Amino acid sequence: MEEISPNFHAESTLDYCAEKLQYGANIMRGVMWNAQAHFMVTCGYLDQAAGSRWEKVASCVQFAWGCGVGMFGLLLLGLSHRLQSREYTYWRGEGVEVFPDQEKVMHLNACMFPGSLPYHFGKQAPASERMGSLASRIQEKDPELLFLCEFSPVFSEELYENLRGEYKHFFVNIGSCAQGMDASIAVISKVPILKAPQFIPTKIPAEGDQKWMYRGYFIIETQTCKYLYTHLHAKDTEGAKTIRKEQLEEIRSLTTDSSKPWVVLGDLNIDRNKQEYENLEGFNDIIHQHHGKVTTCSEEGVEESLDYVLTRDERLQVVTEVIQDLKLSDHSIITATISLA
């Protein structure tokens, strides 16, 4: 069949310039974070032996230089935000569009932050050491739609190069941020995307260190349904629970259009084992229906059930799979095969 997706490339000169600035900014931020990771290892701040005195001095000099490069990258990123009219970059892959009777989707909180952040947030190896395993897992599970959170824009090009031969549509740099942590979402597809996606920032104020996290909702439409992908406010405080409850109300408001079924998926940071789970009333929790309160996040012996595939009505048939691979991420791979009932 002929491709039916519209053109998602930047059409205005300003959007085109914004994407080029973001591309350069990501390279520069990568330089900074690579230097930071080397500094942390050499100085013994991670679970590895420290280097010699001169190795530490050299790593300090390299880190200082990297910070300068990274700061300039952040300036470019901030400038790009002044120019852009949308909060994502589109790259076209070499794969062909497919038209399956069922759409297989995959969600993973990949814990692929730059530098040493994966160690601090999930006791994971650096993202650069796990990119090959991520690509292999994606090719093994072969989803038509892939949703990644905690995936830094710094690694967008490597993801594209690994999968450009199999996938047609790459939406990267979703919710980039020059004054804190990016939304860190990437979405790629083999199936047609019927209209331009949207990234809608949350309007709910965050608390604590989460104020530095840029969060929101990425909405994309296929022939089967509409998807809302998100990563909600973290932490287990009472304030954080209230914020997530209000974010769920935002999601309910965004998914009221019933012309096509909705699927809400992502890391909601709501543990099925806790009372807060009651705030999901009105959603069909497909993973719970199939697997109960299965662990989807495991770090240093703490097991939580945080990742979701939710529906709003009965028009969809969904079959899910939960796959734990702690060498890839502290979160489990979630797949869902979706068809119209």
End-of-domain residue from the set 83, 108, 135: 83
The pLDDT assigned to 1 comes to 56
Average pLDDT of the chain to the nearest whole number: 95
Task: State the alpha helices, DSSP H only, in 113-169.
Answer: 117-122, 127-141, 156-163
- For residues 73 and 169, membership in a common domain is answered with no
Within this chain, do residues 26 and 174 fall inside the same structural domain, yes or no?
no
Q: Summarize pLDDT for 112-122 with one digit per residue, the tens.
A: 999 999 999 88
DSSP string, 22-52: HHHHHHHHHHHHHHHHHHHHHTT-SSS----
| 52 and 129, same domain (yes or no) | no
User: What pLDDT is stored for residue 44 in this prediction?
Assistant: 84
196/57 same-domain check: no
Lowest-confidence region among 67-71, 142-146, 257-261: 257-261
310: containing domain: 89-340
**Domain shared by 279 and 332, yes or no:** yes
Q: At 275, which CATH number?
A: 3.60.10.10
Same structural domain, 132 and 193: yes
pLDDT cut 70: percent of the chain above it: 99
What pLDDT score was predicted for residue 239? 98
Q: Are residues 72 and 118 in the same domain?
A: no
Beta-sheet pairing, 226-231 with 302-304? unpaired
**Separation of alpha carbons 114 and 121, rounded Å:** 11
User: Which of 29, 51, 83 represents a domain boundary (last residue)?
Assistant: 83
Average pLDDT on 27-55 reads 90
Residue 1 lies in a domain: no
Write out the H or E segment, with its range, that includes residue 82: helix 53-83
4 lies in some domain: no
The reported pLDDT for the residue numbered 258 is 87
239 lies in some domain = yes
Mean pLDDT, range 111-133, rounded to an integer? 94
Is 203 in the same domain as 187?
Answer: yes
Quote the pLDDT of residue 2: 59
pLDDT at residue number 98 = 96
pLDDT mean over 140-146: 98
pLDDT band at 205 (very low <50, low <70, confident <90, very high): very high
Are 168 and 78 within one domain? Answer: no
The count of domains in the chain is 2
Q: What is the pTM of this model?
A: 0.96
Distance CA 66, CA 79 (A): 20
Same domain, yes or no: 251 and 195 = yes
